[in-house]
Amino acid sequence: MADNADNSFDLVILGGGSGGYACALRATQLGLRVAMVEKDKIGGTCLHRGCIPTKALLHAAEVADEARSGNTVGVKTTLEGIDMAAVNSYKDGVVGDLYKGLQGLVTSAGITVYEGEGHLVGTDAVQVGDQRLTGSFIVLATGSYARTLPGLDIGGRVMTSDQALTMDAVPRSVVIIGGSVIGVEFASVWRSFGADVTIVEALPHLVPLEDEVLSKQLERAFRRRGITFKLGAKFTELTQDDDSVTVVLDTGEKVQAEVCLVAVGRGPATDGLGYAEHGVSVDRGWVTTDERLHTSVPQVFAVGDVVPGLQLAHRGFGHGIFVAEEIAGRDPMPIVDTTIPRVTYCDPEVASVGLTEEQARQHYGDVDTFEYNLAGNGRSKILETSGVVKLVREKDGPIVGVHMIGSRMGEQVGEASLIVNWEAYPEDVAQFVHAHPTQTEGLGEAALALAGKPLHVHA
């Protein structure tokens, strides 16, 4: 390991987002001397421009919907309007409190933080301003940026999620290009706030990476909410003036709105940072690694959004812990994308872990599935939500996929993750008693049915 001379460390981490700071915290626990380089704020996209602020907006949207619908349960409420200044103050307060807590953790752990943009200048060296840091190991954790498409210039009435999070007024109408996670979450927020929303998605379904059952359920729910979407439609041209944007589709149809959100995914933030120049294999911007997150340079690792695969904060967090333990010789178990839980926090929420039915059939050939409709679930009835819990199992084998949609389903994905990661059989899950009335009973009911003893379902 590196000696304790100034600017010489056991581990130098480029990036202080979910992957970077998790790696730093775990590495210091394991006795390593750590430097972390961050050009913006510790916490990265997730804390400041992603997961946390968007979910704060989604909670405000949920409160708005509850105010509208109070009379349906005998509570006399009305929605007078949306005060975006107050909403943003609430959102920024949540982010600020979490940021202060994270800063305290990093400081108390004794992690040396360098502010500025770091560049890889050798297989064991990072340059930050006029300071050169050396490390026995380097971790690349520079995260991602909001992508756009050719012909979609960001500015004016055209924005990415970065600008959408800072809007000081609710737009009257929005066209969203992209119907995956970011697109449907903002669609959900803006519709709850009173905007007219149209989503344009080039693939055949919304949230196209999810099991088709969830996509179709979400599409039905969005129709009921008055959210318009155009599937299998591609953007070809966009124009804007002082009052509106006009999006032209490959069908010839035109969609006009006050603003346009470009939600076509995120790209790896690796350009110009010296990775390829110092032997790190990069493919179209992505840092290629083996299953143990080694890059092509033995002492250089990569974590989080720069590594091809799911772009989730908790994936980066898990990667960071894994790499710290790998460097410390703890021989941790590799993190596999299919075992990572996924949640889309629109209304209704979409939550899943493991293989879709289509993926399972490709992998195993023969599979069994069961779909439990939440119409039969007492808690869901109380919450006035609809949806489904779907289990996918290898034929006569363990459960390999759990797919759920409905109110608050993101809170149920923890049990789903345990089921898939511990390779539980339906019979294993069915023997456990689920509290009543809870939505987790949906998992229990589906397991009972797959185990051959359905209860609150028609045989």
Q: Outline where DSSP puts E strands in 39-177.
A: 112-115, 118-122, 125-128, 131-140, 144-146, 158-159, 173-177
Q: Outline where DSSP puts E strands in 116-161.
A: 118-122, 125-128, 131-140, 144-146, 158-159
Backbone angle region of 74, left / alpha / beta, with phi > 0 → left and psi within -120 to 50 → alpha: left
Cα–Cα distance measured from residue 363 to residue 423, given in angstroms and rounded to the nearest whole number: 15
Do the beta carbons of residue 140 and residue 302 sit within 8 Å?
Answer: yes
As a 3-state breakdown, the chain gives helix, strand, coil percent values, each rounded to 5, of 35, 25, 40
DSSP code for 339: G
Interstrand relation of 349-354 and 342-344 (parallel, antiparallel or unpaired): antiparallel
Which among 435, 436, 431 has a CA at the least distance from the CA of 452?
431
Active site residue 205: no
Interstrand relation of 235-240 and 245-249 (parallel, antiparallel or unpaired): antiparallel
Relative orientation angle of helices 181-192 and 212-225, to the nearest 10 degrees: 20
Element (H, E) at 249: strand 245-249
Do the beta carbons of residue 207 and residue 350 sit within 8 Å?
Answer: yes
Q: Phi first, then psi: what are they for 170, rounded to 5°?
A: -80, 125
Do the beta carbons of residue 194 and residue 171 sit within 8 Å?
Answer: no
Q: Which residues contact 301 (CB under 8 A, 6 or more apart)?
A: 137, 138, 139, 140, 289, 293, 294, 295, 323, 326, 327
Cα–Cα distance measured from residue 34 to residue 138, given in angstroms and rounded to the nearest whole number: 10
b or e along 406-426 (b: 16 or more beta carbons within 10 Å of the residue's beta carbon)? Answer: bbbbbebbebbbebbeeebbb
Q: Which of 48, 205, 314, 436 is catalytic?
A: 436
Q: Give the residue numbers annotated as catalytic, written as ranges.
A: 436
